[in-house]
A = this chain, B = another copy of it.
Amino acid sequence: MPKPTRTRRRTDATVDRRESILDAALECFVLRGFHGTAIPEIAKGAGIAAGTIYHYFPSKEAMVNALFRKWKGEIAQRVLTAFPAGAPVRDQFRVMWRTMTDFALSHPRAFAFLELHHHQDYLDDESRVMENNLKDFGALMVMRAQQEEQVKPGSTALLMELVFGAFIGMMRAHWDGRVELNADQQAFAEQACWDAIALHRP
A residues whose Cβ falls under 8 Å from a Cβ of B: 31-36, 116-118, 120-121, 135, 152, 154-155, 157-159, 161-170, 172-173, 178-180, 185, 188-189, 192-193, 195-198, 200
Q: Are B33 and A192 closer than 8 Å at their CB atoms?
A: no
**With A33-B35, A165-B167 given, can you name 15 additional A-B contacts, CB distance below 8 Å?**
A135-B178, A154-B188, A158-B173, A158-B188, A161-B169, A161-B172, A161-B173, A161-B178, A162-B166, A165-B168, A165-B173, A166-B166, A166-B196, A168-B168, A195-B196
A193: chain B residues within 8 A (beta carbon): 162, 196
> A52 to nearest B CB, angstroms?
15
Q: Are B179 and A169 closer than 8 Å at their CB atoms?
A: no
Q: How many protomers of this protein does the assembly include?
A: 4
Q: Are B170 and A121 closer than 8 Å at their CB atoms?
A: no
Consensus secondary structure, chain A interface: helix
User: Closest 5 CB pairs between A and B?
Assistant: A165-B169, A35-B35, A196-B196, A161-B173, A35-B36
Knowing A161-B178, A173-B161, A178-B161, the reply to whether A195 touches B200 (Cβ < 8 A) is yes
Q: Are A33 and B169 closer than 8 Å at their CB atoms?
A: no
Q: Are B165 and A170 closer than 8 Å at their CB atoms?
A: yes
A154: chain B residues within 8 A (beta carbon): 185, 188
> A146 to nearest B CB, angstroms?
13
Name the residue of chain B whose CB is nearest to the CB of A167: B165
A167: chain B residues within 8 A (beta carbon): 165
CA distance A31 to B121 in the complex (A): 7
CA distance A198 to B36 in the complex (A): 42
> A23 to nearest B CB, angstroms?
19
Q: Are B197 and A179 closer than 8 Å at their CB atoms?
A: no
CA distance A178 to B165 in the complex (A): 13
Q: Are A152 and B185 closer than 8 Å at their CB atoms?
A: no
Q: Which of B165, B168, B179, B198 contacts A195 (CB under 8 A)? A: B198
Knowing A36-B35, A121-B33, the reply to whether A179 touches B161 (Cβ < 8 A) is yes
